[in-house]
Amino acid sequence: MALPPHPSPTPLALADLNALSEDAFAAHFAGVLEHSPHYARVAARQRPFADAEAAARAFMEAARSGTPEEQLALIRAHPDLAGKAALAGELTAESAGEQASAGLDRLSPEEYAEFGRLNAAYHEKFGLPYVVCVRENDKASIFAGARRRLGHTPEQEREAALHEIGRIARLRVLDLIRPPSVS
């Protein structure tokens, strides 16, 4: 099922963000944690934020606040890198842009095949997608990280995935907050 395209929200000043209703805050930050907009409400309850990094930390903490089953659901909400959803145009706007930033939308047939093998190995071993903050990596480091992390235990991999989700959330939150004006 293809998701309808939605424009990215206009970044808000910190004071405006702190003044939003919980509903407006949740709507503004709905795309921060993949297919999991309810975490924006959890983060909203930690306001007022002193700065953008505090807002980002609130989302990182929200991602870890759930039960183990909720954490697994959050990890599983992430798409496979260069997987079927990407090829079918079914990624969220956030994921599509991030995967494109690392060149994952321009892979050779051999690279697509390698991602297919890595994705399958991840699902076989962990029952999870390989989650990495692609904006902080390039194609080579993403491949290397996947191969390395296949050596993890399930517990280590869940922790690594949650760590990466926190990094993804941080960048997405910072994208949605207008930097303070320099005087």
The catalytic residue positions are 78
Nearest-Å Rg of the Cα atoms of the chain is 17
Give yes or no for a contact between 34 and 92, defined as CB atoms under 8 angstroms apart.
yes
Give every CB contact of residue 128 below 8 A, 6+ residues apart in sequence. 72, 75, 76, 122, 157, 158, 161
**Amino acid identity at 131:** V
**For 134, what's the count of Cα atoms within 13 Å in the CB-facing half-sphere?**
21
